[in-house]
Amino acid sequence: MFDHGQNIQSVDVFVTLTDGRELFGSLVCGLKADVSMALNGEGQFIELKDHDGDATFIGKHQVATLEKAKGGNRKQSTLETASKTQTNWQDVLGVSSGSDAAQVKAAYHTLAKQYHPDMYPAHLPQEMRQYANDRFMQINKAYEAFLAVAA
8 A C-beta contact, residue 105 and residue 95 = no
Blockwise average pLDDT, block size 10, the chain, 151 residues: 57 81 82 74 82 81 80 46 53 88 94 86 77 86 89 77
Distance (Å, whole) CA 88 – CA 85: 9
Residue 56's pLDDT is: 84
Going from the N-terminus, what domains does the chain have, and what CATH number goes with each?
9-83 (2.30.30.100), 89-150 (1.10.287.110)
Buried b (16+ CB within 10 A) or exposed e, 10-37: bbbbbbbebeeeeeebbbbbeeeeebee
Q: What is the DSSP letter of 43?
A: S
Q: What is the DSSP letter of 116?
A: -
* Alpha carbons 91 and 69: distance in angstroms, whole number: 32
Instruction: Output the pLDDT for position 79.
Output: 36
Q: What is the pLDDT of residue 6?
A: 52
Say what angle helices 126-150 and 101-115 make with each other, to 10 degrees: 160
pLDDT of amino acid 108: 94
- Give the integer Cα–Cα distance in Å for 97 and 83: 23
